Amino acid sequence: MHYLTSKIPTGLIYSRLLIGLLLVGLSYYHAPHYGPVAVALLLLGVLTDVFDGIVARQLGISTQRLRRLDSTVDQIFWLLVVLATYLACPGFFSDNGWQLATLLGLEALTYIVSFLKFKKEVATHSFAAKAWVLVSFAALVQVSLKCQSGWLFQLCFVVGVLSRLEIIGILLVLKTWANDVPTLYHAGRLRRGKEIKRHKLFHG
C-alpha cells in the first residue's frame, strides 16, 4: 500500500501530459463544446500541479529528482496548452503575437541560462511563477471560451515578464543549482550560505 501511495505524486505529474495531449487532440479535431471542455481540463491540470507537490511533501518524498520532473512536465504541459489554444483560436495569436513571442522567448531564456550555468533545468518554483500560473489560467479560460481576452491577458503578460526576469535573476545570483527558491531575496540568502524559510505547502 505504501508503495502505491508513494507513486501518487508521480502519477499526478504525468497526468498533465495526458491532459495536454487530450487538449491538443480535441482542439485539432474541433470537438463539440471545446471551450467548456478545455476549461475543465485546464482546471484539472492546474489542480494536479498544485497537489503533486503537496502530496509529495506530506508523504516525505519531495526529492530533487521529483521537483525537476515536475518542472519539466510543467513546461511540456503549458506548451501543449498553447498549441491547443492556437489551433482553436489562431486569431488571438495574430492579434497578440509580439506579446506571446516575448513570453515564450523569456521562458526559453530562463532554460538557456540554467543549462549554461548549471547544466540543469529550471526548478525554482518561485512565488511569482506560481502567481503567473493562476493569472495565465484565468486568461486561458477567457480565450478558450471567447477566443479573446482583454485586461486579463495584459495582466498575464506583465506578471509573466516580471516572473521570468526574477527567475533569471535568481539563477544568476545562485552559486549552485537549487530547487524551490521562492524569491530573489531567498536566492541572495542561499548565495551567502544562509538557510531560507520555504512555505510548507508550496516548497520542498
pLDDT for 79 equals 95
pLDDT for 110 equals 96
Can you tell me the mean pLDDT for 96-123? 95
Q: What domains can you pick out in the chain, each with its CATH number?
A: 2-191 (1.20.120)
Place 1 in a pLDDT band, splitting at 50, 70 and 90.
Answer: low
Sequence-separated (6 or more) residues with CB below 8 Å from residue 179: 64, 67, 68, 71, 123, 124, 125, 204
Can you tell me the mean pLDDT for 137-151? 94
pLDDT for 66 equals 87
CA dihedral defined by 73, 74, 80, 84, rounded to 10 degrees? Answer: 150
Can you tell me the mean pLDDT for 41-70? 87
CA atoms within 13 A on the CB side of 201: 4
Q: For residue 22, what are the CA distances in angstroms to 44, 68, 81?
A: 12, 23, 10
pLDDT single digits (tens) 120-139: 999 898 999 999 999 999 99
